[in-house]
Every structure is written in structure tokens, then in C-alpha cells.
Chains A and B, each alone.
Chain A
């Protein structure tokens, strides 16, 4: 059997074993639902087009009809409810039966903040009805008055940061960037811990007696990547369906061609980071080393992620343009520019080529590091150790060390053994914690979005919370790590 066939077997095992995990299944559903919710939230938050308007006290005879007329012009269906007394009317406002109470045709009473649009409609109607009444009293003919008072329809439009794009699109791009970062970082780190778990459990020696190291690493990256692609694909599909089914929202940023690019950029970004994560994973010796060996890359990924937010505010600017060509940030910056209509057709193609070339180079380096480090036993290596070659990799041969050092190593391992089982439980707890914190972050985002009536702030709050929680848990894991390592 050739290396490719074996790599495929490895990939298939990764997919099978990992897709069985409840945490993975839950995260697929959670992410699709959360993204769809964020996209259609503005439409759901937009109040319906029917308003109940209470009227009490003396008022021009034509007021009710005028309100209805004015409201109709503004796209609102007004239902007028007369109330006999002020108390009854105010009670209705408090109970939410009417949106506003018009008292004596000169005061509007609201429950909480006034609805600005309704306020304008009702105020206009009062003015109009009053003017009509006065005009009739002054003997101006109805025809002349109508000609005088024909309302001019005024529409309002929310301008986004890019031509042809609305704030709704900006939300969509924000969500896209968050999803891409999530995908690249979560699945990239799966490669990291996967490599370390194989090394720590020593199964890697059994595997490498059968297949070349490069086939093992390639299969692992491919399998986890396909799983990630499936999750991102499901999420993209959910976004597409959500936008298509809710007619009242118009988000040109979410459409088939853009989402295909999102999937392409996920694959590129994942391939780039997972390759590095895989190589770094082989340097550690225990699962707890994961955060410390991978810290530099994780920091780079975070910086690239936060920097990519400039594409939302100014997708055509120099910063967004530069970020969308740098391979480390392009996977998160370029899709935003495409979605905002700020990239010419050839730009993502050129950037993808640059990223692919970078990946090809990294694959060579990663293969070299992984091959040398994966069978090394003992404390975690540094990249320099691996580069200096023989002396470092030499310690791989357990048989070569003198009896004393071997015995010492064994003792250390026995000591570390208890530590490892303990921290493995810790790790499961971390995973749980992360799932819970991610859920909490999503809820927080939705809550902020509802209360602030601003989806962008909501998403930013949620994403920020999740990012910070992620770092905190990571740091805590690193803090529990070292004491064992120093033994």
C-alpha cells in the first residue's frame, strides 16, 4: 500500500473517531444555529408594521383618518383605539395594548422610549388634522387645501461602509470572520493535541513501524480538515437558508459565490495553521505541553484575527488590502473584502496562490520537524533542537542512553504517569469549560444585541467574551502544566 492510501486510512480514522464525539456534534448544531440567528436577528428585532394607537380627549374629527393615512404612507398599518378616559388609556399603554396614547391631540404618552418613526407619523397627522380643521374654519376650499398639503414621501436609507453594502452586510462579514477564526483555530488545535496525544500515548511508534511519518501527519491534517470543512459548510448553508427564508432582510454579502470563497479560504487558512500546529505538536512530550509549544502560532493567529476586523470598517483601505494578501491573515481578511464587494475578481485568486505557495513551503518544513521530533522521548524540544539535528534526535533511541539515565527517565515517567492521568481529566474538564463558555458567549452576544438593539455590538461582545475566555482557559492549562514538567 502506498503512502497516499495509508494517509487516507489515517484521515478516515480521524473523521470517524472525532465525528462520534458529542462535543463535536453539539458544536456543529450550535454554530449553525448561532450564525443563522445573528443574521436574521435584525429582521426579527424590527418591530412589526402594525401599530396600535390610543386616542383620548378632545381631538380634531379627522384625526383618526389622518393618522391612518399618514401611517399608510410610511408603510405602517395603524389601528386606532379610542379611550373614554385618560386613566383607561394610560392603563392600555402600560399593558402594551397600544404603542402610544394621543391625549387631547397634543400629548403623546409612551411606555419607555418613544418609537421615533411612529412619533413623527402621529405628530405629522396631528398637525395635518389641525391645519385642515383651521383651514375649513378659515373657508379654504378642500381642493386647494389638498393641493397645498399633499405629503412629500421621504425615505431613509442606512449607509454602510462600502458602496452597495448595508450595516446588515457588515454584520454578516463580522460573523464570517468569527466563523473562519473559530474554524481555523479549533480544528488547527485539534491537529496539535492529536499529534501530541499520539506521541504521549506512544501509539506513534506502532504506527510509524507501518507508515511513513509524513503520511501520518498528512492524513491527520486532511481528516480533521475535512471534518472542519463539513462544519463550516453546514454553517454556511444555514446562513444561506436563513437569509433566503427571511424576506425582510437584504444581505448581498451572504450569497453562494461568497460562501464558496469562505469555504476555500477556510481550507487554505486551516491548511496553513494546521501544518504548523502539527509540527509544533511533535515537539512536546505530553498533552499538557500543547499550549506552550504552540503559543507563538496561537498569538499570531489571534493578532491576524483581530487585525482582520479592519475589513469591516474600510474594506477598500490600504490596511485591509495588505492584510488580505499576507498569508497569515488572508484567510480571515480576504473573504470579508470579497463579501463587501471591495475586491476585484482576480484579487482573491492571486492571494490564494500566494497562500498556497506558503503552505507548500510550510509542509516541507513541518514534515522535516515532525519526522525528527515525533519519536523523541523526554522533555519537550525546541525548534532549534530539531534543527541542530543529530544530538537532539539522538536521544530518541531509548536503547542508547546509559542504564542510569534510562532508569532515571523511567522513574520520571512513572512519576509523570499519575500526573498525566490527572491532567487528562483536567483536559476533559477544559473542553467542557470551553463548550460552556462558548455557549455563554453566544448567549451574551444575543442578549447584548437584543438590549442594545445593535447586532454588531452584540456579536463583538459575544466574540470578545469567547476569545478572552479561550485565552484564560489556555493560560490556566499552561499554569497547571509546568510543575509536572519541572520534575
Chain B
């Protein structure tokens, strides 16, 4: 369990982190969201002591993070970087050993990951001989060489093609399923909504929303009804107390109250229109995000 407890960091006149309090729990994937410059990277760096906090603390299992804890953490910084002229396997084994792991264990671990990410035949090549995508994979393995209990990834999905994105998502889900605590930042909100159990949203150094995603969505008083239909458009406002969010001549998105009787709405729609599809759901993460950040 990783806890930010009123973590505060000032850079001159700028407050990068303003009494940030949130948690990332083991066995759960936590998405860390916020506009550019909101303080995500600073917060992540604070976990590794790369940024010294002016106030508050980052705790691991209830105690302030110590060097011995960090040996069990994995980190992928936003600015990717490894030794360009060092061989892939040597490099990864070296980084693993820096975490205090025995050479044999690291070697085995590196071998497994290289195999899994399809890089086994490139192990003896210099890093700069690899393609950009493969270098990204090596960077990911660099964060995993110590089989971390806590994995912190800054924008792990940026620069990946759709297939690599799916693979990365699966990998993160597998790691969480195995009991790791995973915190990652991203701007791909749809992807985060699909992957994460928990989200944290930060804006101007302040945490504006944090918690279990499903719960956060459910807590919002609004629900959304998406209807696709054929034929002339009925007068939607007469259905039930609803607001039209957007509409064109074959579909409409309505905002209704949380306690609306869905079955009644559906029945009313079927009476008035030639229904193609009907969905009823709480706001998406994108909507939560925009609302939270705009507030």
C-alpha cells in the first residue's frame, strides 16, 4: 500500500504538490490522471526520493519510504533513458543488481522478460541498435528486473502502437493480479477506464478526485442514456425529466437523474421511436475528468 500523506512540494513560487493525499493499493491498478504540468511526474519522483518533499510524506505499508523499500520498487520515468552503447542484457542485469539482487536471480528474471517481450535474440545487441519500440520494451523490463512490489510508470502508453498498448495493458493487469501495486500516469482516459480499478486525478498540484473508479462513477447523480433509432426524432424532453446532451438524426445522448426508472424510459422510447440500441450508464471517466478539472 502506497500512501501520499499531505505531500507538499514547492518549486520557488510554484506549488507542484499541494497537500496531496491518496493511496495506491496492492493488487489494483491505479491510474494517475491530470493535465500537463499538474504535478504527476513530481509526485512519482517523490516516491523515489528524486524530489525532496517540503511537507507531508510518502509511506509504504504505513512507514516513510526507506532505501530498502525502494530496492523493491520499479520505476519507469517519463524521460526514457538507458545507456545507449551498453548491451541489452548487461544493462538490465546491472540495473537489477543495483537493487541488491543476486546476479543469478537477476539473470533469470531478465531472461524471462526478454523472452516474454520477444527480445531474447537481441539480448547481446547494443541498445542503440534496437528499434524505438524495442527500446521501449527494454525500458519496461528495466523497471521490472527486481520483481517489484510497487511499480510506478510515468506515461507507459505514450508512443506505443495499438497492439503494443494492448500488450502493455495486459502486462500491467497480470502484474496487479499477481499482487503488485501499480500506479501509472496516462492521458488515454478510455484506456484507463478499461484497465484501472482506481483512479487519482490531480490538478494544479491538488488531488481533485481519488478512489475506486466504479464507485466514483456511481456516486455522480447523473446517468446517461444513449439511444440509436430509425425514423423521425420524437420530442425527447417529454419522455422523462431529461436533458439532451447531444443529438443528431439517428442518435441522442440524454442526461437523466440517478433515481430514474430505466425500464420506464426504455418502454417510453420504444413507444415513440424505432429503437436500434439503448444504453444506460454512469458518466465515463472522460466526463468525470473534465468535470473534476474544470471545477
Contact = CB atoms under 8 A, between A and B. Distances in A.
Interface of A: 1, 5-6, 9-10, 13, 16-17, 198, 201-212, 375, 377, 390-391, 394-403, 406-407
Contact of B42 (A203, A211, A391, A397): A397
Nearest to A413: B79
Contacts of A212: 67
B41 A399 contact: yes
B269 to A, nearest CB: 42
Label chain A's interface by main secondary structure.
helix
Contacts, number: 108
27 contacts: A1-B71, A5-B100, A6-B98, A10-B98, A17-B86, A201-B83, A202-B80, A203-B82, A204-B81, A205-B45, A206-B82, A206-B142, A209-B50, A210-B95, A211-B98, A391-B11, A399-B43, A399-B45, A400-B9, A400-B14, A400-B16, A401-B14, A403-B35, A403-B36, A403-B37, A406-B36, A407-B36
Nearest to B185: A399
Interface in B103-127: none
A379 to B, nearest CB: 16
B186 interface: no
Interface in B31-50: 35-43, 45, 48, 50
Contacts of B16: 397, 399-400
Contacts of A201: 81-84
A403 B293 CA distance: 14
Nearest to A397: B42
B58 to A, nearest CB: 13
A202 B77 contact: yes
Nearest to B41: A399
A49 B81 CA distance: 66
Contacts of A208: 48, 50
B75 interface: yes
A396 B70 contact: no
Contacts of B67: 212
Contact of B37 (A9, A206, A209, A399): A399
B21 interface: no
Nearest to B87: A17
Contacts of A407: 36
A1 B99 contact: yes
A210 B71 contact: yes
A1 B51 contact: no
Of all A-B residue pairs in the complex, the 3 with the closest CB atoms, nearest first, are A202-B81, A394-B11, A1-B100
B73 interface: yes
A377 B50 CA distance: 13
B121 to A, nearest CB: 21
A205 B50 contact: yes
A398 B98 CA distance: 25
A206 B42 contact: no
A209 B75 contact: yes
A203 B135 CA distance: 13
Nearest to A215: B98
A6 B97 CA distance: 8
A121 to B, nearest CB: 64
B12 interface: yes
